């Protein structure tokens, strides 16, 4: 299987001051939408799948679809495991051809987090796969991942430096005030904390929970060193809303080839907006593969 890791993608983004958007996908239609928008805007893109998405769609189908997409598209793209916690599942999917994974052990104490991440890094690097980990803990809800806001905490810059040295991880998701799911009020990002982390840590930094974060705040985070931005909730909402609207106007409809069309269009518009927010438009030409 010939999929790319995210390592080169994120290093290039870091060097050139933009972020690679990572969109959570769930099925063929959402993969098609993300790739169409990324192709139209000539943007590198990461197709991310949470554990519940892998369980729903099956990793074999997802990998086969994305491998074919990699063959027929002329933009840099890859498949990424997002917020996976089961080490054995991650290792198994790596052996199937996945080249980019996130091991989320952020719910554990620092030493245990390091131990779990280091094990995955050692395994993944043997297969040419890149590894993302998280230090700090985002609150909110993403699929089956639920973290009470009271249990969330921000990333300690000094711990981030030690964590990267001890684990050998390729990218680090940092907690600077974002959350998963919908926000009750506008999030306030801790840019001073991000500056301190960036000054100490030289690997690519990742921003999770970007759905609903103001455009300018995300771009400011990118200017300060974020080079991968995760978007999930803001894609699902327009997709489902368009289907609901279609059925309200066409209550007897039954053909998914009809009611999924407006859903894909609604989602496409959001993907385009987020690619521009990440400043990754027209960056696909600068890669040595698939262009």
173 known member of a binding site: no
106 known member of a binding site: no
Q: Closest Cα to residue 144, out of 55, 52, 56?
A: 52
Which domain CATH number covers 151? 3.20.20.70
> Residues 45, 262: contact at Cβ < 8 Å?
no
Average pLDDT over residues 244-259: 97
- The answer to whether residue 85 sits within a structural domain is yes
180 known member of a binding site: yes
- The answer to whether residue 155 sits within a structural domain is yes
Query: pLDDT tens-digit profile of 237-249?
Result: 999 999 999 999 9
143 annotated active-site? no
> Residues 229, 22: contact at Cβ < 8 Å?
yes
- The answer to whether residue 224 sits within a structural domain is yes
- The answer to whether residue 19 sits within a structural domain is yes
Q: Closest Cα to residue 23, out of 233, 239, 262?
A: 233
13 pLDDT above the threshold of 50: yes
Q: In which domain, by residue range, is 196 found?
A: 7-286
232 known member of a binding site: yes
**Cα separation of 279 and 19, whole Å?**
7
The shares of helix, strand and coil residues in the chain, as percent rounded to the nearest 5, are: 50, 15, 30
- The answer to whether residue 291 sits within a structural domain is no
- The answer to whether residue 255 sits within a structural domain is yes
Q: Of 40, 82, 202, 255, which is the active-site residue? A: 82
Q: What is the reported pLDDT for 187? A: 74
Average pLDDT over residues 225-235: 94
250 known member of a binding site: no
- The answer to whether residue 40 sits within a structural domain is yes
Which spans in 109-250 are helix H?
Answer: 110-126, 157-167, 191-200, 215-223, 233-249
- Provide φ and ψ at 31, rounded to 5°: -65, -45
291 pLDDT above the threshold of 50: no
What's the domain count of the chain? 1
Entry pTM:
0.91
128 known member of a binding site: no
- The answer to whether residue 1 sits within a structural domain is no
């Amino acid at each position: 299987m010939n999929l790319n890791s995210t390592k080169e993608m994120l290093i290039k983004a870091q060097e050139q001051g933009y972020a690679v958007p990572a969109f959570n996908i769930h099925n063929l239609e959402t993969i098609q939408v993300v790739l169409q928008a990324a192709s139209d805007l000539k943007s590198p893109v990461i197709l991310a799948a949470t554990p519940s998405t892998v369980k729903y769609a099956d990793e074999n189908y997802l990998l086969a679809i994305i491998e074919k997409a990699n063959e027929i598209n002329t933009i840099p793209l890859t498949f990424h495991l997002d917020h996976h916690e089961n080490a054995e599942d991650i290792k198994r999917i790596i052996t199937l051809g996945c080249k980019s994974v996130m091991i989320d052990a952020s719910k554990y104490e620092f030493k245990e987090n390091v131990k779990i991440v280091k094990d995955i890094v050692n395994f993944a690097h043997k297969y040419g796969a890149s590894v993302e980990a998280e230090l700090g803990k985002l609150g909110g809800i993403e699929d089956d991942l639920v973290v009470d806001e009271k249990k969330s905490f921000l990333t300690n810059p000094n711990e981030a430096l030690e964590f990267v040295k001890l684990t050998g991880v390729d990218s680090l998701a940092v907690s600077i005030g974002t959350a998963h799911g919908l926000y009750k009020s506008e999030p306030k990002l801790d840019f001073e904390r991000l500056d301190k982390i960036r000054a100490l840590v030289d690997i690519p930094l990742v921003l999770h929970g970007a759905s609903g974060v103001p455009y300018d705040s995300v771009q400011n985070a990118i200017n300060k060193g974020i080079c991968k931005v995760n978007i999930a909730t803001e894609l699902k909402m327009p997709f489902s809303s368009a289907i609901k609207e279609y059925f309200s106007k066409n209550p007897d409809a039954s053909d998914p080839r009809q009611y999924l069309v407006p859903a894909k269009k609604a989602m496409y518009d959001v993907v385009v907006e987020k690619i521009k927010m990440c400043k990754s438009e027209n960056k696909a030409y600068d890669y040595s593969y698939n262009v």
